[in-house]
Amino acid sequence: MSENENPRNDDLGAATRALKDATAALTRLLKEEVAAVAPQAKQAIGVALRETAQGLNEATQAFARETAASENRRARAAVTREQLLDAAARLVAERGYEGASVGDIAEAAGYTKGALYSQFGSKNGLFVALARRWFDEPSEGARLDVVPEGPDAVTRWCEAAQQDPQLLLPLEFAAFALRHPESRTELADVLTGALERVAAQLAAYRTDDDTAEPTEHDRDTALAVTSVYLTANLLGAATGSPHAGPQAVARVVERILGRS
């Protein structure tokens, strides 16, 4: 719908015209003999003002209805988006990016492919959005911010990571970036941003200052800890070996952090 066809614009335009008409009527009447036309002026002004008030009230109500409808549409779109991302996370973790089709993801979420394309534009767009959410709102097993909290927290983190059904997702993100150059820059920003946040957390832990800038050493440590997450926990989940189990991985992390 164009701006000229917007009902709200029509209502506001009608109210504006009514107000202008009332003002013009008042101006004309004031130029005439007041004594002769006073009753007529009062009546005309009263009618004009009532019409103006009614027009403004109708315009206000129309605006409120349109605002409420717009908010409802945004809320429904947000729910649709989250449900599609949830379905994508499950299927990509189970089948890989290539094995999870747009149709399968949409069906698993209870929507059509059109709804998916409306939200994300393409399968690549969906996957980049999934990567952003995974790093911005990580599951318990992916919360690298727990690493500075101590050995017990690290062990619990490793246990959660090795039981996390989405453990393979970060590997899928990295593989996707390598296989899809058209999305590499955007996804690389997501991945490097996640590393930088871990480095900032380690810098805060090291200095006891939440505003401390990460050093090169902090960034190297963040890379090492993240590598452990991507490899050692994966090996532990795949093999069940105690040599790659949560406690073993926690010991490695503790050594990386210089706490053992």
Residue finishing a domain among 18, 47, 77:
77
Whether residue 251 sits in one domain with residue 133? yes
Residue 69 lies in a domain: yes
- Rounded CA-CA distance 256/85 in Å is 34
Q: Say if CB 18 and CB 48 are below 8 A apart.
A: yes
pLDDT per residue rounded down to tens, the chain (260 residues): 544 555 555 665 666 666 666 666 666 665 554 445 556 656 766 676 677 767 777 777 777 777 777 777 788 889 999 999 999 999 999 999 999 999 999 999 999 999 999 999 999 999 999 999 988 876 655 666 666 677 788 888 888 888 888 888 988 998 898 888 888 888 888 888 888 988 998 898 889 898 999 999 999 999 998 888 788 888 998 998 988 888 888 888 888 888 76
In a domain, 93, yes or no: no
C-alpha 192/C-alpha 213 separation (Å) is: 16
Pair (129, 193) in one structural domain: yes
- Tell me if the pTM is above 0.85: no
Residues 245 and 147 in one domain: yes
> Is 111 inside any structural domain?
no
Domain count, the chain: 2
Q: How far apart are CA 53 and CA 42, in angstroms?
A: 16
Domain contains 83 = no
| Residue 119 maps to a domain | no
Q: Find the domain containing 24 and state its range.
A: 3-77
**Do the beta carbons of residue 100 and residue 86 sit within 8 Å?**
no
The CA distances from residue 150 to 153, 198, 223, in Å, are 5, 15, 18
Instruction: For residue 88, tell me if it sits in a domain.
Output: no
Other Cβ atoms less than 10 A from the Cβ of 54: the count is 13
Q: Would residue 109 count as lying in a domain? A: no
Q: Which of 77, 107, 141 is the last residue of a domain?
A: 77
